[in-house]
Amino acid sequence: MTSAFDPHRAREDFPALQQSVNGMPLAYLDNAATSQKPRAVLDVMDAYYEHDNANVHRGIHELSRRATEAYEAARVKAARWINAASADEIVWTRGTTEAINLVAASWGLDNIGPGDEILLSVLEHHSNIVPWQILAARTGATIRYIELDDQGRLLLDDLPRLLGERTKIVAISHVSNALGTVNPLHEIIPAAKAAGAVVLVDGAQGAVHSSVDVQTLGADFYAFSGHKMCGPTGIGVLWGRRDMLERMSPYQGGGEMIHIVGRDASSWAAVPHKFEAGTPNIAGAIGLGAAIDYLDTIGMDAIVRHEHELMAYAMERLRAVPGIRIFGPESLEERSAVVSFTMGDAHPHDISTILDAHGVAVRAGHHCAQLVMKHFGVPATARASFYLYSTREDVDRLFAGLDEVRAIFG
């Protein structure tokens, strides 16, 4: 299957990619923000609402039974996607952001106190910084950071100094959304564990572009979002080691998460339902299950190989553009399918506007990673990010647009 992979063929599966923007065929290069959705996912979600729509785990009637079955089947698919030991270790969330907030609020408030340390990196998305800042402000804990080198790679030589008996949790991204840096989790996690810390991995960009095996990774928590991997928005996963989840307090209270409710106190449902208060995003979970099925038919090996080849082509061409500054690791082995850049005096917003006029969608801004921007002394970058349906023609279109940026800004 892998050798036959053709991104042009895959492109046909995505209705949104068939359109023109500003009179030009769409070249969608903003995949790190969100991916497009294949017809297979849209159809499954439509079919759910048209035929099976009902609340889950509550009704005994046929539609509720069907909805519950499809919802729980999607949980099994999500578990398989990251090789979790059991579907009970998969907590549905709104996405990576909510998953990290859940851990910070639940595990964090029960386990973090004054003088404790939370270790992050300068590379983190705001979603993996701000929840810990809120927790630190509530508990009197201190946040420390792994710094970056001039290629946006973590300075791991500092780890022995940063990790100590006060370090209660290390929260680290798998892959940086701003630079594409792939973090060496195989070095960080064992070091954190040896120091007795709990480890959370922000996998928003990791579970999309690589095969993840949480059983060999050695972390305690892994979070990812459905919308970046062909699924709908509003659904994501917190994977937690079962014993961790079982010891944690609920995040939110309400229906679905209880066992018995009394006047003054209640008891909780078993994991993962203990963390899923209220009517969940049923269609979202089913849609993410369909996205996983879709990605499975293509195969992660084929996706990784394609992205790698495309990145090699894009980087070679980018390096030749006069006035360009490329951020992130030079080696393709250390980088995912993302490239952040600036061009001479052109503001990244202007770059993005000019590219948009060519039908090329890239992101411009701080990418929710202001600490990264500060590290490099820039307010913003332009960012092109690729996925399975990105093609060399998309890359060529990006460069045609950049020619015009150069013509305008010199």
State which of positions 234-273 bind ligand PMP (CB under 6 A): 236
> Percentages helix, strand, coil for the chain, rounded to the nearest 5?
45, 20, 35
* Cβ distance to ligand PMP smaller for residue 225 or 281: 225
If the CB atoms of residues 68 and 385 are measured against ligand PMP, the closer one turns out to be 385
Q: How far is residue 113 from each of residues 99, 137, 168, 249, 334, measured CA to CA in Å?
A: 21, 10, 9, 16, 36
Per-residue binding letters, 221-240, with ligand PMP (x by CB under 6 A): ----x----------x----
| Amino acid found at 238 | L
Which of these segments, 62-70, 95-103, 142-150, 295-303, binds ligand PMP (CB under 6 A)?
A: 95-103
202 binds ligand PMP (CB under 6 A): yes
Measured distance CA(304)–CA(289) in Å, rounded: 20
Please work out the total of residues on this chain that contact ligand PMP, with binding judged by CB under 6 A: 14
Contact pick of 31, 183, 205, 336 for ligand PMP (by CB under 6 A): 205
Q: Which among 368, 379, 400, 409 is annotated as catalytic?
A: 368
C-beta of residue 222 within 8 angstroms of C-beta of residue 173:
no
Q: Which of 35, 36, 34, 16 is nearest to 26 (CA)?
A: 16
Residue reference for tokens 């009637």: 61
Cβ proximity to ligand PMP: between 212 and 346 the closer is 212
Q: Is 97 in the site for ligand PMP (CB under 6 A)?
A: yes
The CB-of-20 to ligand PMP minimum distance in angstroms stands at 27
CA dist 367 → 130, 156, 247, 296, 310 (Å): 15, 24, 35, 29, 22
Positive or negative CA dihedral for 405, 347, 175, 318?
positive
- Does 30 bind ligand PMP (CB under 6 A)? Our answer is no
Q: Least separation, in Å, of the C-beta of 48 and ligand PMP?
A: 21
Given CA atoms 89, 93, 95, 99 in this order, what sign does their dihedral have? negative
Q: Which stretch binds ligand PMP (CB under 6 A): 142-150, 198-206, 277-285, 348-356?
A: 198-206
DSSP string, 226-260: GGGGTS-TT-EEEEE-HHHHHHSPPSS-STTSEEE
230 catalytic residue (yes or no) = no
Q: Looking at beta carbons only, is 238 or 257 nearer to ligand PMP?
A: 238
Which listed range, 130-138, 202-210, 248-256, 260-268, lies at the site for ligand PMP (CB under 6 A)?
202-210
Near ligand PMP in 144-183, by CB under 6 A:
173, 177
Q: Kindly state the smallest distance separating residue 374's Cβ from ligand PMP, in Å.
A: 17
121 scored as a contact of ligand PMP (CB under 6 A): no
346 contacts: CB under 8 Å, gap ≥ 6: 405, 408, 409
- For the chain, the distance separating the N- and C-terminal CA atoms, rounded to the nearest angstrom, is 46
Positions marked catalytic: 368
Residue numbers at the binding site for ligand PMP (CB under 6 A): 95-97, 125, 127-128, 173, 177, 202, 204-205, 225, 236, 368
